[in-house]
Amino acid sequence: MAEPKTYRNFIDGEWIEASARQTRENRNPADKSEVIGTFQSSGQADIDAAVEAARKAWRRWRQVPAPKRAEHLFRMGEILVRRKEEYAREMTREMGKPLREARGDVQEAIDVCYHIAGEGRRLHGHTTPSELPNKSCLSMRVPLGVCGLITPWNFPMAIPSWKLIPALVCGNSVIIKPSSDAPLSAYHLVKVCQEVGIPRGVVNYVTGDGESAGTPLTRHAGVALISFTGSSETGRQVNLACADTYKRAALEMGGKNAMIVMDDARLDLAVEGALWGAFATTGQRCTATSRIIVHKKILKEFVDRFVERAGSLKVGDGLDESVDVGPLINEAQLKKVMDYIQIGRDEGADPVLGGVRLTKNEYGRGFFFPPTVFTGVTRGMRIAREEIFGPVVCVLAADSLEDALEIANDSPYGLSSSIYTQDVNKAFAAMRDLETGITYVNSSTIGAETHLPFGGLKKSGNGHREGAAHTAIDIFSEWKTVYVDYSGKLQKAQMDNN
């Protein structure tokens, strides 16, 4: 096998080493012996250099007409279409998700490029009449400046694209700090930026861990906004750092997403949806289904069918097309999942499927954990309240729709939810009452499309929505209000004419 490649930071249009000359190996979670590449371990000095380059480049980039900025983004979409398979394979190797899901991840980036590039010819503002004669009032969007993008490993190309593409169309420059568990997919995205000719310094890429590379970015006075996706606890710390330095923070954080299955649901659909929601990406999605709230009349039948199907899912290396569930991302995540299994047992829940790490044969080479189903879970248990981020799902019983909604909403998180029912009245009540940013009817809690608002309430978000053009653009632009007085005299609002 060829020597693993060393990847560098991208600052001011140059691929350079971190100033401390330290690196870190990135390994395949399905086979720890396979090194994917060596990446820079960056720190304050690298962030300083990136911010300086990004600030300089921003002054020019903001003057490039938005339709011209957007042409780069259309071309990025075209390149990603051509490289989809190659980038998907590398993504599976770097973070483990099955190949068909990795293809979907690249596809999200393609969708975002095409959707948001169209904004180059919109970016609409408003005009409104003035209360005074011979005066015009308008408001328009202007860029913020340097945006710091801190992205996770579970959607290593999609999520960077959700942030990068709208930031660029609005005329910002960026510094991407990808998760140190999956920096390769973001590297590919940045290479494509370079290839389509986005001017030097507009897109910068700095790798390293959260503490040494992420924290200086969140604290840097030259950064206008941090857009972060990751855990609620890290998001809280990012928010504090942003408050200290008067910068904006757009946070997309954890979830404890509930699926309600009513007694009139089509059980075949609900079982399929639950399998997909709970075990896709090995449960490592912030939108993963981690609570299934089932009407007690169908509880036994649902659990029997669900457990039977979950037990037949194939766990393994995601490069094998027949695999349904890949490895967990790393040792720490594996340990966290195992700790929660113990917590669930101690709380009196019953792991009717899975619950034990897979170690035999090729499983010993990676971080494999089987689909795990807890029954007998009640809403106060920690396994029903805390985000596990693994292939572990809790089944809870409900007496009625009202009861199910109350259980679903009794959560510190509020990202995604779903209900399976054939009754339109119940569906609409749930759409109204589920306290989440996203609700699905007769579909799983995962599978958001990139052109709709994405984000959540409570510990899941801080009021921003990525995705949809208007909401993503709201994150990455400021409103500028302009008054033009052509009366030839001083006119006083609120005083003249009153």
> Which residues contribute to the site for ligand UN1 (CB under 6 A)?
154-155, 285-287, 446-448
Among residues 426 and 459, whose Cβ is nearest to ligand UN1? 459
Place of tokens 């999942």: 337
Look at residue 252 and give its three-state secondary structure: strand
Look at residue 208 and give its three-state secondary structure: coil
The least distance separating ligand UN1 from the CB of residue 400, rounded to whole angstroms, comes to 29
Among residues 229 and 477, whose Cβ is nearest to ligand UN1? 229
Beta bridge partners of 351: 374
Q: How far apart are CA 109 and CA 117, in angstroms?
A: 12
The residue from 94, 101, 119, 252 that is catalytic is 252
Helices 99-117/66-95 angle, 10° precision: 170
* Phi and psi at residue 34, to the nearest 5°: -95, 115
Q: How far apart are CA 424 and CA 447, in angstroms?
A: 22
The least distance separating ligand UN1 from the CB of residue 401, rounded to whole angstroms, comes to 25
The least distance separating ligand UN1 from the CB of residue 272, rounded to whole angstroms, comes to 15
Q: What is the dihedral of CA 349, 351, 357, 363, to 10 degrees?
A: -150
Q: What angle do CA 77, 80, 83 make, to 5 degrees?
A: 160
Q: Show Cβ contacts of residue 120 under 8 Å, excluding neighbours closer than 6 positions.
A: 66, 67, 68, 69, 70, 71, 73, 169
| Parallel/antiparallel/unpaired status of strands 372-375 and 9-11 | unpaired
Among residues 155 and 306, whose Cβ is nearest to ligand UN1? 155
Among residues 272 and 478, whose Cβ is nearest to ligand UN1? 272
Q: Show Cβ contacts of residue 35 under 8 Å, excluding neighbours closer than 6 positions.
A: 4, 25, 26, 27, 28
The least distance separating ligand UN1 from the CB of residue 418, rounded to whole angstroms, comes to 11
* Catalytic-residue membership of 402: no
The residue from 113, 193, 242, 286 that is catalytic is 286
* Catalytic-residue membership of 286: yes
Look at residue 129 and give its three-state secondary structure: strand
Q: What is the dihedral of CA 201, 11, 185, 158, to 10 degrees?
A: -40
Among residues 120 and 390, whose Cβ is nearest to ligand UN1? 390
The least distance separating ligand UN1 from the CB of residue 129, rounded to whole angstroms, comes to 42
* Phi and psi at residue 10, to the nearest 5°: -120, 105
Q: How far apart are CA 41 and CA 328, in angstroms?
A: 23
The least distance separating ligand UN1 from the CB of residue 347, rounded to whole angstroms, comes to 26
Among residues 199 and 447, whose Cβ is nearest to ligand UN1? 447
Among residues 15 and 276, whose Cβ is nearest to ligand UN1? 276
The least distance separating ligand UN1 from the CB of residue 385, rounded to whole angstroms, comes to 19
Question: Of 290, 304, 297, which is closest to residue 344 (Cα–Cα)?
Answer: 290
Question: Of 285, 269, 289, 370, which is closest to residue 327 (Cα–Cα)?
Answer: 370
Question: Of 68, 34, 113, which is closest to residue 366 (Cα–Cα)?
Answer: 34
Among residues 261 and 438, whose Cβ is nearest to ligand UN1? 438
**Can you list the pairs that 70-74 forms with residues at least 24 positions away whose Cβ atoms lie under 8 Å?**
70/116, 70/117, 70/118, 70/119, 70/120, 70/121, 70/169, 71/117, 71/120, 72/168, 72/193, 72/196, 72/197, 72/198, 73/113, 73/116, 73/117, 73/120, 73/165, 73/168, 73/169, 74/113, 74/114, 74/117
The least distance separating ligand UN1 from the CB of residue 457, rounded to whole angstroms, comes to 15
Q: Which residues are catalytic?
A: 252, 286
